[in-house]
Amino acid sequence: MSFETDFIVIGSGVAGLRSSIELAKSGARVTVLTKDKASESNTEYAQGGVAVVLSDDDNAELHEGDTLIAGAGLCDPSAVATLVTEGTVFIKQLIGWGTRFDRDSGKLIFTQEAAHSRRRIIHANGDSTGAEFVRALIARAGRERSIDLTPFANTESLIVRDGRCVGVRFLDPILRTPREVFGRAVILCTGGAGQLYQHTTNPSVATGDGMAMAYFAGAEMADMEFVQFHPTALNIPNAPRFLLSEAMRGEGGILRNKFGERFMPNYDDRAELAPRDIVSRSIVAEMRRTGTRNVLLDMTALDGGFLRHRFPKIYETCRLYGLDISNDPLPVSPASHYCMGGIRTDLWGRSTVPGLYAAGEVTCTGVHGANRLASNSLLEGLVFGARAGRAAVEDSASLKGPFLPRDLSSDAPPSDQTAALSTAVRKRIKRVMWERVGILRDRASLERALKEFAQISSGNLSTSSRNFVTLATLVATAALWREESRGGHYRTDFPDQHDEWRHHSIQVIGKPIGTAEKMDFDISSRV
């Protein structure tokens, strides 16, 4: 059962919604597929806020500089400049669309986060910025009659014919039968892959399917070794890891060991405001030194009323576990949080496969380098989501329908209706990734992980299980290849950073791992 549209967007986070709005502005029919409800995405869980140059004491050069420093020498300057300069424009547009950021006497409230040289983080409802982004964008998308949003649609694979991406296979959410949709282009906005790890701040939908589908379609993947671990996830036995925002340390939170001693100044002069990779490794080192499974985030020096107002969601969540953030130090430890690597794209969301575009965490534009600067992710989805939508429209202007192929059977594999990821396979991969491809890595552990993944891959897997183990293999392969430590990638057997490794890792199906000097590439023959 097949149908056609003009454009297909997979994912309904900030990147997916913003690209859909941009596509619809052209009058095109837009089909949006998302594996859960429309609001369920990594965007929904973004707490801290969005970094943007709007305050009087800030400028684009400072924001660019902070992003480049955090990226540990691997950011593409052109990508960073695009993010920062266009980010201000798109945030102002979002405010014009009715997004309600927190204000004091009518003026935007700016807060501090780690590795930022200015208070440039704006937030909504205290610690629910992502949810406000989604609300505003869904409301704006709802005004475009040509957008058809289909929730609970599990995408199985991309359809590539004659070297061009022309459609998507997915499971119909009502009939639970396989369907195919064809169009001018596909935009992947499926988010990251935090669920690869045993401990993560990401929702259950963040399994990296979009990355795996793009890889199997022949797209180049870049910088898969760079995974960011958030330093402070609430660590309570038999409870999911709940993100405790970077902004809590920005507002004055202190990290202490089990003896109540502040330890971050012993590891970095910036203390609690050091980049996330440094704070995460410092916490791991302190836990090992003191023989504990967590450290403590101490907010007790701050006013209780302020904390309840500034972090209402965090306050209520901690209260459910019997913790009062104004009186009780909070047990925390690192958890996987964000993928800096992903589908290699240019600055307009074009992948190396004609007809396939991508935006947001699923991509690698070079904007984050080896380590994402706090609160740049919502900005990235907004800016590059709009850019991908615009490029898809312009690049396909000469294409004429109908897009539905006459022969629907020539390249269609048997549909896999066991969409649910095998629980046993998933648990095994997540444990191996956490123990052997985690915050601290070395050759022996990485090689052991790859052997286990090869063993799993040799079995009879569902599509989702195959995607999951393939993605884990890509991360471990790139981590084994990069024999240095940089940003979110730390090798205990190669602890130093070296200039000769200052290039991006590139992986494409059927070829050995290669390198690229920058993410941008010649697309003249690819669109």
What is the model's pLDDT at position 46? Answer: 56
Report, as an integer, the average pLDDT of 51-59: 96
Measured distance CA(408)–CA(272) in Å, rounded: 57
For residue 224, give the nearest of 60, 456, 446 by alpha carbon: 446
Cβ-count burial of 331 within 10 angstroms (0-12 exposed, 13-18 middle, 19+ buried)?
A: buried
Domain 2-193+340-395 has CATH 3.50.50.60: yes
For residue 491, give the nearest of 434, 438, 441 by alpha carbon: 441
How confident is the prediction for the chain on average, in pLDDT? 92
What residues form DSSP beta bridges with 9?
A: 32, 187
45 close to 202: Cβ distance less than 8 angstroms: yes
Residues 6+ apart with CB under 8 A from 126: 102, 309, 310, 311, 312, 313
Residue type, 32: V
Residue type, 131: A
Give domain 228-337's CATH architecture: Alpha-Beta Complex (3.90)
Query: Where in 183-341 does DSSP place strands (E)?
Result: 185-188, 221-222, 227-234, 242-243, 254-256, 295-298, 330-339
Listed by start position, the domains of the chain span 2-193+340-395, 228-337
pLDDT at 123 over 50: yes
Q: Alpha carbon of 58 to those of 52, 100, 343, 442: distances in Å?
A: 9, 21, 32, 40
Position of tokens 């006497």? 105
What is the model's pLDDT at position 419? Answer: 39
What is the model's pLDDT at position 459? Answer: 87
Which strands make up the sheet holding 342-344, listed edge to edge? 363-364, 342-344, 221-222, 504-507, 514-516
Cβ-count burial of 100 within 10 angstroms (0-12 exposed, 13-18 middle, 19+ buried)?
A: exposed
Angle between helices 463-481 and 209-216 (to 10 degrees): 80
Element (H, E) at 164: strand 164-171
Report, as an integer, the average pLDDT of 484-511: 97
List the single range of 224-233, 239-248, 310-319 with lowest mean pLDDT. Answer: 239-248
Residues 6+ apart with CB under 8 A from 140: 17, 21, 97, 98
What is the model's pLDDT at position 415? Answer: 45
Report, as an integer, the average pLDDT of 72-93: 97
Claim: this prediction has a pTM higher than 0.75: yes
- Mind telling me the catalytic residues? 276
pLDDT at 35 over 80: yes
First to last CA, the chain: 28
What is the pLDDT confidence band of residue 85, given thresholds at 50, 70 and 90? very high
Q: What letter does residue 92 receive in the DSSP assignment?
A: H
For residue 335, give the nearest of 406, 433, 207 by alpha carbon: 433
pLDDT at 469 over 60: yes
What are the pLDDT digits (tens) for 266-308?
999 999 998 888 999 999 999 999 999 999 999 999 999 999 9
Residues 6+ apart with CB under 8 A from 390: 22, 348
Measured distance CA(230)–CA(368) in Å, rounded: 15
